Amino acid sequence: MTATLANHHKMRCLRTRNGCLFLRWSLDDLRDVLEQFPLNAADFELEQADTRRLLRDLFMLSAQESLEARRRRTVGRLARALLARYQQARQHYPAQEPS
């Protein structure tokens, strides 16, 4: 995974049967490229080892981003639940005025 993160900003070549697509190491860039040049699975040169490695790395990057997004949502849900409990407790037990 460290090697994947180290290559984050490098341009990568994605070989297809119609030529190469050069893209930065980010899923957003890949999505933008695929919107401009829609590809099917049959368009990839899977017999090339570097293409298989790149697709594997893209899959790993996608999984990593998915996990991070899931963690953020989980943390957000926990924070909202704790805030709701805190607000509910303040309604039932108002803060006492200092004497």
pLDDT tens digits for range 41-82: 777 777 778 777 777 777 777 777 777 777 777 777 777 777
Give the domain ranges of the chain: 2-92
3-state SS, residue 24:
strand
53-74 residues labelled b (16+ CB within 10 A) or e (exposed): ebeebbeebeeeeeeeeeeeee
Instruction: Tell me what pLDDT residue 46 has.
Output: 72
Tens-place pLDDT, residues 3-23: 444 444 578 777 777 888 787
d(CA 12, CA 20): 10
Question: What pTM does this model have?
Answer: 0.43
Q: Quick one: pLDDT at residue 39?
A: 73
Between residues 33 and 5, the one the model is more confident about: 33
Q: What is the pLDDT of residue 1?
A: 37
Q: Is the pLDDT of residue 88 over 70?
A: yes
* pLDDT(24) > 50: yes
